[in-house]
Every structure is written in C-alpha cells, then in structure tokens.
Amino acid sequence: MSDNGCGAPVGGVALADVNAGDQAVIQGVVTRDGRPLSGAYARLLNASGDFVGEVATGEEGTFRFFAADGDWTVRVLASQGFTAQYEVKAETGRIVDLAVQA
C-alpha cells in the first residue's frame, strides 16, 4: 500500500474474505464502464454528518468499513467529478454491500 497524499491508503480489500460474525460491515465496489475503479475514495460519515474515516479503492475497486450499529452515510468520490452518497443502516452480524457506478 502506498500513501496517495490525502492520508487514505490505496489498496482496497477482497470482499469475499469477510464474515460479519459479531461486527457490522459496510462494503462495496466502485466501477466505471463495467470495470473496477482504482483510486476512488469512500468516506464514512456518522448520523450527524461528521467525518469518521476514509479509504481509497485499489485495483479491485473495493472498500470496507467496520462500523457500530446505527445509521451511516457513505460518500464516494472519484475522478471526473463523480460524487455519490448512500444512506445505510449497519447492524451487528450483517454486511451492507454497495455497488457504485461511477
């Protein structure tokens, strides 16, 4: 993993490698024209809209957050001015999957 200048490590995750178990998981894949998009950013915001964390997608276009139960917002930013926002509810033992078309 390398630092891209914004503090978020580039790398992504293998989405098949997680079992929610006793955690609440929010994850997804960012694609453009049907292909994974590397270098997009997924930001996690709490119910008040406060910034909690950010990750950069790797070659697979994937991102993952482990969150507390409750309401969250995932904001995805990518090249060419793309921004999208998703309201999600995290629950222990559940995986929320997002498919983002940038």
pLDDT of residue 13: 55
Q: What share of the chain has pLDDT > 90, as a percent?
A: 77
* Whether the Cβ atoms of residue 56 and residue 1 lie closer than 8 Å to each other: no
Q: What is the DSSP string of 9-55?
A: BB----GGG---TTSEEEEEEEEETTEE-TT-EEEEE-TT--EEEEE
| Nearest alpha carbon to residue 74 among 90, 94, 60, 91 | 90
Domains and CATH numbers, the chain: 15-101 (2.60.40.10)
* Whether the Cβ atoms of residue 46 and residue 52 lie closer than 8 Å to each other: yes
pTM of the model: 0.81
